[in-house]
Amino acid sequence: MLTIALIGFGPPESLRLLAALKSKDLRFTESGLGQLAEARRSGATATLIWGAAADGAGTAQAIVEGVEAGLTTVAVLLHGFDFQKIDLSRGTVEFCFLPVMPEEILVRLMLARVRGSKGLEGSNVLVHGGLAIDVDRYEVTLDGGKVDLTFKEYELLKFLAQNPGRVFSREALLRSVWEYDYFGGTRTVDVHIRRLRSKIDHLEHRFVDTVWNVGYRFRSPDESGPEKGGAPGQ
């Protein structure tokens, strides 16, 4: 389900449209300028901007902020074709011109989301659900938001994601990721897995499984649901 941060909703016309949108498979959260980064951290993956009553500069600022916050889709509702102050090259931006049906807004949000994922798949990026690992840039994103990892956390995630479904012992991970005999023992693998999970796993995402008495594996693309084999911290 898409979680959408709302900007500028308040005029009666906007609230009538929002009431119709709430009957769709969407989740909304109120936001404002300067708050989109926090909305992204709270689970929003898109933003919907009511630009019909705002000046062009305010709409442009909201677009920039949404893109920089890592929101995968920015949709703007406008009365006319006034793009004078809007940079159309920034991110995936969709425009809807009023009056508009709620169904059109939903379709535009979904199409933009699909285009964004297609672009990732065409480059040197490992894509698994909402998780994307850009091998060339050493960057990881989850639902469009950047995930800050240490170098070893990144290398561990990349190695597991390149071999989905395959189980690796702690010793094998040490040899493959650390590439030398680690004198601290295999406990370091458990520590890095726990830290990695704290950054990429939550109720809607489970990427790394514990296989008891063996080691760890990255989930196959067709797997979903609660984690099997152990609690996230194991």
Q: What is the pLDDT of residues 132-181, one digit of tens each?
A: 888 877 888 887 678 889 999 999 999 999 898 899 999 899 888 887 65
Does residue 222 contact residue 179 with C-beta atoms inside 8 Å?
no
Domains of the chain, earliest start first: 2-121 (3.40.50.2300), 125-218 (1.10.10.10)
Q: Tokens 């902020």 sit at which residue?
A: 65
Residues 6+ apart with CB under 8 A from 11: 50, 52, 53
Give the residue among 56, 116, 10 at the shortest CA–CA distance from 108.
Answer: 116
The pLDDT assigned to 233 comes to: 42
Task: For the chain, give the mean pLDDT.
Answer: 76
Mean pLDDT of 206-220: 91
pLDDT at 228: 44
Percent above pLDDT 90 for the chain:
17
pLDDT value for 216: 96
Cis ω on the peptide bond leading into residue 102 (within 30° of 0)? Answer: no
Interatomic CA distance for residues 79 and 177, integer angstroms: 54
- SS3 state at 4: strand
- List, in sequence order, every beta strand (DSSP E) within 79-178: 93-97, 125-128, 131-134, 139-142, 145-147, 167-169
Answer yes or no: are the C-beta atoms of 166 and 208 closer than 8 Å.
Answer: no
pLDDT category at 45 given cuts 50, 70, 90 is: confident
pLDDT for the residue 192: 93
Q: What is the pTM of this model?
A: 0.50
- How confident is the model at residue 130, as a pLDDT? 72
Binned at pLDDT 50, 70 and 90, residue 229 comes out as very low
52-74 pLDDT, tens digit each: 655 556 777 777 777 777 676 67
